[in-house]
């Protein structure tokens, strides 16, 4: 007997999470084990609220999937609801009732660390109950910090946006022939992958950004000022890429050195202002022209500039998730394995959700130079293929137009 | 006897100023009155320093002009040097000596209000001296605040970047089903044209941004809070576009209400932080989720997303400048005249530099709604054609590659 599938999206938006959703829908529509594909609005919250969209109906015209694939952010919406420990059964029982009511045999959750925790808990709950409901996680995060997978869908497009606008920030900074420092603050609370992608910009500019600071290495204010001064002797224009999560030796974020900070619902410290702090520090200590730029949410939903590799592979990993579920796999997160490092080839596989839920994969310390202010060639080799290729953004009257339900 | 031409760029960067330079070079290379085309590095400063590039040589392969045309920022570099009044002849005499030495008969200065002042003074100096040196200004500014011309090259691409990333900011803000306010701070110190272009985003999103505040209207903090509260009753997600130059009734910029501010070399107040100020105000007064985003320099050099109309017309007006100079015109700035408002057709003409130098064309008050928090349909009709069409950004290994000398 055919069962139905629920797909949902969770965590922060990326430019590729809809491509994965499109892959899931494509896989599910093609499967002869699946009757109806439902989309839950606003993540697991949509399951609890029985807030579903019949995706089989919406995507009867399959061309619409191409439009969804190239639409940034999350067409189904997201939530930040974290499920409690399994002993608190009430919410799990409620989800189970909804799954029964809608004859759900498959649940695909597209998200980051916290979403994999949700998928993991649900899988354990269903297993313990002896229910044949397959739960699969599909990774997504611009932070690229999920364990086990070579990289995460969404990261490549974010890295492409970061490195692209950096080429333009460098050109902008070069127009005046005067010493100037530009500090670009890049997302990635605890993992420096996205900030490291700033190094790709050098493939275009030849020299900048010259200084790159990741959260994996302690940030030293005096060393930073010395780095800037030394770089200024080589070039008028010093471009600095710094992670929003850069921390000094006592563990405080740079932003905490000058201002208060907020906490999100997961207890993560919400940081911003590392760039602004360093801007002020340079004004104070060096007195030269300085500007800070916070790339903010632009970097996580840049639909107008996508990595084709990212979007295509995000679609494929979504499709593969459904295929895995249909072949009986559950409690797994889909992963990319880089099978050829020289020519960048990858295959799609899966790993236990236990091995990814709540873990953060940091940027490797041996890919950071000993001075702590740049990444190595090995890092660039890893990053380079992930931003490759362009997609044709759907445009109308000079503006992107996004898929909407 | 053939004479030589100097082209130079001045003021802040835009995404289209190199397209105008490409047009000037194309026009000059085609002219039988012009021998050699020189480019002065870093604006008029390059003339004083005799820091020239032989553009005739560089662009012997004409295909390179297509590359230059699509490269943002300023290939020749810029300066912020303001010429003194004409009585202080020393610097003018020096420029004159260089012009004589290089047999210059034509000078084309591509820039904004201040650059037109420089061009105007030089033209007056040469006229008074009875020298046959033609001086022509070519407009450029993302602020769109030059008088006499329908619009300024560079504005269309900046407006396209602003309205494009706003579509993505709106999608990003919509992923969580909770009340949220996003404030986007847009450039334009005294003229609200670029902030107004945020209204184009509604053509894509259907509803947001709902609130738009230009510097032409006094910003009232209480009215703003009321606007946000009222909008929130209609939609969870309130998107606000605010000019960096928004001012309260006593003339202070929003940023001055909470922090110090710097002054640039022209005595313009350098403002930033209007968005951050309003973010804090909303936290204080409404306590809801709020984020501010400063588009910063990204909006003035977004080479990866260009308005084809802007780039093509920037090239044409550069070419037309040389044609005008060769037919004996001097002391003029090139302008666009919109000849058909319904179907957006334009012609290229010129006006006296006296009529544009040091003037700022404000956004028309009758294109702002009486409440002061949005623009009218008439404004949207004016703006819409300026962002139309896409160009193919030259890419290499997933990144834009810019023309460099």
Between B204 and A48, the higher pLDDT residue? A48
> How confident is the model at residue B261, as a pLDDT?
43
Between A25 and A262, the higher pLDDT residue? A25
Of A296, A397, A399, the CB nearest to B293: A296
> How confident is the model at residue B177, as a pLDDT?
87
d(CA B265, CA A289): 12
For residue B264, pLDDT beyond 70: no
Cβ contact B240:B254 at 8 Å: no
List of chain A residues whose C-beta atoms are within 8 Å of the C-beta of residue B303: 167-168, 171
For residue B121, pLDDT beyond 90: yes
Question: Confidence class of residue A266 from pLDDT cuts 50, 70 and 90?
Answer: low
By mean pLDDT, which of A280-289, B190-199, B380-389 is the weakest? Answer: A280-289
Cβ contact A312:A387 at 8 Å: no
Q: How does pLDDT run across A348-377, given as a tens digit for each residue?
A: 999 999 999 888 999 999 999 999 999 999
> How confident is the model at residue A260, as a pLDDT?
42
How far CA B302 is from CA of A19, B70, B181, B221, B401, in Å, comes to 25, 10, 26, 32, 13
Kind of pairing between the strands at B332-340 and B345-352: antiparallel
Mutate which of A171, A275, A280 to test chain B, going by most B C-beta atoms within 10 A? Answer: A171
For residue B274, pLDDT beyond 70: yes
Q: How does pLDDT run across B66-112, given as a tens digit for each residue?
A: 999 999 999 999 998 989 999 999 999 999 999 999 999 999 999 99
Closest CA–CA distance from residue A308 to any residue of chain B (Å)? 9
Of B169, B389, B397, the CB nearest to A297: B169
For residue B258, pLDDT beyond 90: no
d(CA A205, CA A368): 21
Q: How does pLDDT run across B350-374, given as a tens digit for each residue?
A: 999 999 988 899 999 999 999 999 9
> How confident is the model at residue A357, as a pLDDT?
87
d(CA A100, CA A103): 5
> How confident is the model at residue B359, as a pLDDT?
87
Average pLDDT over residues A37-50: 98
d(CA A336, CA A350): 8
Q: Which of B211, B247, B245 is nearest to B229 (CA)?
A: B211
Bridge partners for B90 per DSSP: none
Average pLDDT over residues A123-133: 97
For residue A10, pLDDT beyond 60: yes
d(CA A274, CA A277): 5
Chain-chain contact of A301 with B80 (C-beta, under 8 angstroms): no
Mutate which of A296, A390, A393, A394 to test chain B, going by most B C-beta atoms within 10 A? Answer: A296
d(CA A365, CA A381): 15
DSSP letter at A375 equals B
- Write phi, then psi, for A238 (nearest 5 degrees): -110, 120
Assign residue A188 a region (left: φ > 0; alpha: ψ between -120 and 50; beta: otherwise). Answer: left
For residue B24, pLDDT beyond 60: yes
> How confident is the model at residue A308, as a pLDDT?
98
Average pLDDT over residues A207-231: 98
> How confident is the model at residue B51, as a pLDDT?
98
> How confident is the model at residue A150, as a pLDDT?
98
Chain-chain contact of B175 with A203 (C-beta, under 8 angstroms): no
d(CA B159, CA B141): 11
* ipTM confidence: 0.95
Interhelix angle B221-234/B274-285, nearest 10 degrees: 70
Share of chain B above pLDDT 70, in %: 96
- A 10 A CB-CB count for A132 gives 12
- How many alpha carbons lie under 13 Å from residue B350 in its C-beta half-sphere? 25
Cβ contact A68:A21 at 8 Å: yes
Average pLDDT over residues B247-263: 77
Kind of pairing between the strands at A211-213 and A237-243: parallel
Residues with Cβ < 8 Å from B142, sequence gap 6 or more? B12, B14, B152, B154, B155, B157, B158, B187, B188, B194, B299, B300
By mean pLDDT, which of A289-293, B65-69, B269-273 is the weakest? Answer: B269-273
> How confident is the model at residue A248, as a pLDDT?
96
Instruction: Tell me how many degrees the CA angle B242-B246-B250 measures, rounded to the nearest 5.
Output: 150
Q: Which of A243, A216, A184, A202 is nearest to A372 (CA)?
A: A216
Can you list the alpha helix ranges (DSSP code H) found in A9-88? 17-30, 43-48, 55-58, 63-69
Chain-chain contact of A171 with B73 (C-beta, under 8 angstroms): yes
How far does CA B286 lie from the centroid of its chain? 35
Question: Confidence class of residue A271 from pLDDT cuts 50, 70 and 90?
Answer: very low
Q: Report which secondary-structure segment, H or E, holds A114.
A: helix A113-129
Q: Report which secondary-structure segment, H or E, holds B332.
A: strand B332-340
Share of chain B above pLDDT 90, in %: 89
Q: Helix, strand, coil proportions of chain A in percent (round to 5)?
A: 40, 20, 40
Find the distance separating the first CA and the last CA of chain B, reported in whole Å: 29
Can you list the alpha helix ranges (DSSP code H) found in B60-134? 63-69, 90-101, 113-129
Of B12, B42, B73, the CB nearest to A177: B42
pTM of the model: 0.95
Q: Report which secondary-structure segment, H or E, holds A233.
A: helix A221-234
- What is the DSSP annotation of B8-62? EE-SS--SSHHHHHHHHHHHHHH-SSEEEEEEETTTHHHHHTT-EEEHHHHTSST
For residue A258, pLDDT beyond 80: no
Per the annotation, the verdict on B143 as an active-site residue is yes
The residue in chain B having the minimum alpha-carbon distance to the alpha carbon of residue A264 is: B289
Which of these is catalytic: B114, B143, B145, B374?
B143
For residue B19, pLDDT beyond 50: yes
Which of these is catalytic: A117, A143, A145, A227?
A143
């Amino acid at each position: 007997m055919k069962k139905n599938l629920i797909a949902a999206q969770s965590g922060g938006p990326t430019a590729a999470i809809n491509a994965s959703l499109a892959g899931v829908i494509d896989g599910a529509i093609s499967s002869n084990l699946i009757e109806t594909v439902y989309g839950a609005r606003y993540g697991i919250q949509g399951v609890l609220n029985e807030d579903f969209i019949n995706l089989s109906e919406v995507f009867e015209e399959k061309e619409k999937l191409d439009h969804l694939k190239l639409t940034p952010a999350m067409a189904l919406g997201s939530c930040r609801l974290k499920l409690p420990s399994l002993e608190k059964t009430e919410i799990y029982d409620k989800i189970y009732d909804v799954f029964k009511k809608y004859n759900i045999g498959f649940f695909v959750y597209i998200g980051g660390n916290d979403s994999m925790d949700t998928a993991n808990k649900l899988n354990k709950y269903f297993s313990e109950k002896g229910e044949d409901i397959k739960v699969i996680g599909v990774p997504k995060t611009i932070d690229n910090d999920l364990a086990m997978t070579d990289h995460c869908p969404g990261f490549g497009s974010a890295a492409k946006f970061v490195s692209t606008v950096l080429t333009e920030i460098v050109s902008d900074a070069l127009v005046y022939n005067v010493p100037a420092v530009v500090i670009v603050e890049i997302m990635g609370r605890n993992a420096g992958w996205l900030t490291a992608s700033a190094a790709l910009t050098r493939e275009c500019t030849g020299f900048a950004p010259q200084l790159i600071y990741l959260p994996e290495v302690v940030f030293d204010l005096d060393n930073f000022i010395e780095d800037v001064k030394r770089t200024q002797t080589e070039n008028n224009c010093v471009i600095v890429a710094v992670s929003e999560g850069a921390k000094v030796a006592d563990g405080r974020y740079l932003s905490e050195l000058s201002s208060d900070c907020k906490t999100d619902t997961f207890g993560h410290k919400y940081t911003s202002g590392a760039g602004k702090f360093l801007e002020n520090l340079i004004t104070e200590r060096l007195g030269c022209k300085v500007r800070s730029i916070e790339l903010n949410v632009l970097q996580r939903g840049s639909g107008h500039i996508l990595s084709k590799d990212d979007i295509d592979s995000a679609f494929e990993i979504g499709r593969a998730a459904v295929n895995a579920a249909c072949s009986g796999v559950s409690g797994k997160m889909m992963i990319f394995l880089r099978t050829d490092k020289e020519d960048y080839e990858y295959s799609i596989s899966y790993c236990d959700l236990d091995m990814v839920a709540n873990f953060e994969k940091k940027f490797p310390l041996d890919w950071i130079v000993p001075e702590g202010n740049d990444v190595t060639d090995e890092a660039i080799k890893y990053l380079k293929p992930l931003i490759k290729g362009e997609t044709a953004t759907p445009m109308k009257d000079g503006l992107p137009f996004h898929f909407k339900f």
